[in-house]
């Protein structure tokens, strides 16, 4: 039986000193989405908060962060060896300082 992989697509924004910054880990190419695999038994919002907090470090403000599921989409695999994907898109907003 073939399984479907659930991926969480994260768009992280930081509002700092009245400027909006779009963030993602440096190992991800600018023209690619920030995707993390969903872990069974963990809320996608919690996974998103965890990754955003790890990326932002001391700039992360859990009391002002907003995590919101904005959409989902289903992507068919291009090859037989890779499973199809359901991608959940989450928006993070952290306003600090």
Please report the pLDDT score of residue 2 as a whole number.
64
| Average pLDDT value for the chain | 79
Q: Which residues on neighbouring strands pair with residue 36, listed in sequence order?
A: 8
pLDDT tier at 51, thresholds 50, 70, 90: very high
CA separation for the pair 48, 36 (Å, rounded): 9
CA separation for the pair 37, 58 (Å, rounded): 24
CB–CB of 1/79 below 8 Å? Answer: no
CB–CB of 66/91 below 8 Å? Answer: yes
CA separation for the pair 78, 71 (Å, rounded): 22
Which domain range does residue 45 map to? Answer: 5-96
Within 8 A by CB and 6+ apart from 37, the residues are 5, 6, 7, 8
Q: What percent of the chain has pLDDT over 90?
A: 9
Task: Give the mean model confidence (pLDDT) for residues 35-62.
Answer: 86
Q: Which of 6, 56, 3 is nearest to 35 (CA)?
A: 6
pLDDT at 74 over 80: no
For the whole prediction, is pTM greater than 0.75?
A: no
Number of domains in the chain: 1
């Amino acid at each position: 039986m073939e399984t479907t992989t659930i991926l969480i697509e994260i768009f992280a924004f930081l509002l700092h000193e009245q400027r909006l910054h779009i963030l993602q880990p440096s190992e991800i190419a600018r023209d690619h989405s920030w995707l993390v695999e969903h872990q069974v038994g963990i809320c996608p919002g919690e996974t998103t908060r965890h990754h955003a907090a790890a990326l932002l470090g001391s700039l992360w403000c859990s009391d002002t962060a907003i995590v919101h599921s904005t959409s989902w989409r289903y992507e068919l695999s291009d090859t037989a060896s890779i499973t199809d994907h359901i991608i959940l898109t989450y928006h993070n907003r952290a306003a600090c300082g």
